[in-house]
Each structure stands twice: as C-alpha cells, then as structure tokens.
Amino acid sequence: MNKFLTLVVLCVASTAFATIHNVTVSGLSFTPANITIQQGDTVRWTKGGGLHNVAEVTATPVFRSGNPTSSPFVYDFAFNAPLAGTYNYECEVHFSVGMVGTVTVEVPPPPCLDPTDLVIKWEAADQVHVYWQAPQMGHYVVYGTADATLATTPPGPGWSVAAEVDVAAIGQADVVITGLSDQQFFVVVQDCTP
C-alpha cells in the first residue's frame, strides 16, 4: 500500500487578509475619528461636500489626500510595512475646530509555528502521530483532506477537523490521528491569540 502524507502549516495570526477601514469625512469631523488597524490594512476616507482634505501631522507627512477641496473624493492609503505606531491626521482647513483623527497601526506577531518543527510518523496502516515543539500556548486544530487539489489552500469546504490540541505550556505537543486513507493532506492551524 503506497501511503504519503503532506503537512501544510498555517498560523491564524499571520495569515489574516488585509482589510479596508472606512472613515467618513463629513461636516467638521472624521467618523470614526480614531481607528486601530493591522499593518497591511488600508484606510479609505470618503468625502461628500465641504472644503476638506486628509493630512498626516508631521513635517514630512506619510499620507495626504492633496490640497483641501470642495469636490467629493475617495482617498485610500495602505499602511504597509514598515509603517507602525500612531499617526495623527487632520483637515488642514478645520483642525482648529477639532477636525482631527488618529490611525494606530499594530504589527502582527511573527509566525507562531515553524514548519520545520513538525514531525509525522506512520504508526499503523490507518494512523499517524504528529508532533511538534509548540512555540507558545494556544489552541491547535489539525484539518485533513484526501483531495490533492485542496492541499495548498486554507481549510474550507472539503477539509474536516482531524484533531484539536490545547497546549498549556511551551514544549512538545502531539496528537495521534486515526482512520486515515491511503492519501491524506493536513493543515495545522495555530490560534496565536494570547
């Protein structure tokens, strides 16, 4: 019987997709005025009427929508690496009446599970032992599929939960998975949320 196993590793915290955060420029305010985003996300400022712009408040601004204008606009700015920290911004016409805001950019944690730390051993005709050095505490979910066309995609339709492991201390974690077919692909997803 020819058996082979592929293990794909994903970390929930490091595989999040970029998000667009909407800010409305209206009256004499930005709504919401203060937002927190992840590095790689985009902020979209949308303005209807009024004489406004969006300008970061530093000597050499990181972002600026242009000169104040009465025309409607949509201004997108992606806060990609290495941008991080808090950025204060204003409408250059109305800052003195409180038309200001902040964008706080958080850096995601580093990958929390190194694929080289994983070991897989066939233990019987229909089971494997998967173990790894857990770099941090957390909840690990092992998904499996026999469909080779899904082997490079994150868990979704066609994947099923093969096992779940709660790791209470940094160190070795393991799970035995039984009832396997001749060909099986796995994804180990670590929830890195503290």
* Structure confidence at residue 144 (pLDDT): 75
Are 182 and 115 found together in one domain? yes
Are 120 and 180 found together in one domain? yes
* Structure confidence at residue 22 (pLDDT): 98
* Structure confidence at residue 142 (pLDDT): 75
Per-residue pLDDT of the chain (194 residues; tens, 9 = 90+): 444 454 444 444 334 457 999 999 999 999 999 999 999 899 999 999 899 999 999 989 999 999 999 999 999 999 998 999 999 999 999 999 999 999 999 987 654 555 556 676 777 777 888 777 777 777 877 777 777 776 656 666 777 788 888 888 877 788 888 877 655 666 666 665 44
Q: String of b and e for 115-144 (b: at least 16 CB within 10 Å)? A: eeebeeeeeeeeebebbbebbeebebbbbb
Domain end call among 106, 122, 138: 106
148-152 long-range contacts, CB within 8 A, separation 24+: 148/183, 148/185, 150/185, 151/6, 151/8, 151/185, 152/8
* Structure confidence at residue 18 (pLDDT): 72
Q: Which domain holds residue 55?
A: 20-106
* Structure confidence at residue 8 (pLDDT): 47
Q: What are phi and psi of 169, to 5 degrees?
A: -150, 150
Instruction: Report the distance separating Cα 35 and Cα 183, nearest Å.
Output: 46
**What pTM was computed for the model?**
0.55
Instruction: Report the distance separating Cα 77 and Cα 40, nearest Å.
Output: 10
CATH of the domain at 165: 2.60.40
Domain end call among 69, 87, 106: 106
Q: How many domains does the chain have?
A: 2
* Structure confidence at residue 17 (pLDDT): 56
* Structure confidence at residue 114 (pLDDT): 54
